[in-house]
Structure 1
Amino acid sequence: MDIVIRRAVPGEYETLGEITAQAYLGDGLLDFGAADSYLGELRDVAGRAAASDVLVAVADGVVLGGVTFVPAGGPMADIAGAGEAEIRMLAVAREARGRGAGEALVRACVERARAVEGCVRVVLSTQRAMRSAHRIYERAGFVRTPERDWNPLPELDDITLLTYELTL
């Protein structure tokens, strides 16, 4: 099966939004106070696409998953600083996992970052429970950066996001 990575088109936004939401819900990653508002953000592919690059993995005309690539300084950045691009909201449909879509999406983001003038690093945040994603990042050459770990909801102590980076 050939997986194609390309920019999402508007007709795929709803599908990708649901894949992303279900990936987070199904993996138990939204067990915190602001889960409802973040669920809305996960489903808002049109909003992400207006502010960044939303990529999809497609095989045989079926969307398998997607990722948001934020070039340096983009409004969707959580942790990226000068000279950095950021990967956000990587998700693959449960039934498509293990087929290489997640790795292909990460590789595509790294290639896009290399094409951004002045970009020297790709960064990302992830939850502790996202162990399969951690393995994908590590296979792609990303390394943990515990000094950058952060909490998007300071009022909740147990929501520390782990960070990774890849120097280009």
Structure 2
Amino acid sequence: MDIAIRRATPEEYETLGEITAQAYLGDGLLDFGESDWYLGELRDVVKRAAAAEVLVAVEHDRVLGGVTFVPSGGPMADIAGPGEAEIRMLAVAPEARGRGVGEALVRACTDRARATEGCVRIVLSTQRTMHSAHRIYERLGFTRTPERDWNPIPHLDDISLLAYELEL
């Protein structure tokens, strides 16, 4: 596997935004009423990169996927508390799935969390139907933390997100 994980460059933001949006759309993850708003968030890599660290997986200068790493709170954190980093918006292009890209991106976030002073845990939220992602998280040692499950759109009961964490 000749895939490199590094920070996204501004020239890659649009491509990564589209990969992320299409991954969520293709997997049926935006079939709730306010999807237009979240689709815009998924595409807005400029906003994410200003508030967190956006990583890409590339092969021969082709973006295969990406993830947002939130090292210590800030506007991009959903559930991270003090001493916690967070993983957000993991996405892999359909044609690159099954090649270890998602796992490599999660490992890069874990490495960054370990290198972050004072960080003792990395957390993330995931939809119930993201079974491939759940397998990656569990394979890498993440455990479910049901007490941290939450709902980003409180008036829609079926959108509750599952929480995972990894003690560092």
**TM-score, normalised via structure 1 length:** 0.99
CA distance in 1, matches of 2:87, 2:74: 11
Q: 71-80 vs 128-137, which deviates more?
A: 71-80
- Secondary structure of the structure 2 residue equivalent to 1:158: helix
CA distance in 1, matches of 2:155, 2:35: 13
* Unmatched segments (≥5 aa) in structure 2: none
Q: Structure 1 segments of 4 or more deviating over 3 A? A: none
> 1:84 offset after TM fit, Å?
0.2
Q: How does 1:1-168 map to 2 (within 5 A)?
A: 1-168=1-168
| Identity, % of aligned positions | 82
Counterpart of 1:93 in structure 2: which amino acid?
A
CA distance in 2, matches of 1:151, 1:63: 31
* Unmatched segments (≥5 aa) in structure 1: none
**TM-score, normalised via structure 2 length:** 0.99
Q: 72-81 vs 124-133, which deviates more?
A: 72-81
User: What do the CA deviations read for 1:63-108 (whole angstroms, capped 9, x no partner)?
Assistant: 0000000011222000000000000000000000011110000000
CA distance in 2, matches of 1:144, 1:165: 7
CA distance in 2, matches of 1:151, 1:61: 37
CA distance in 2, matches of 1:136, 1:60: 24
CA distance in 2, matches of 1:142, 1:75: 23
- Count of residues in correspondence between the two structures: 168
CA distance in 1, matches of 2:59, 2:134: 24
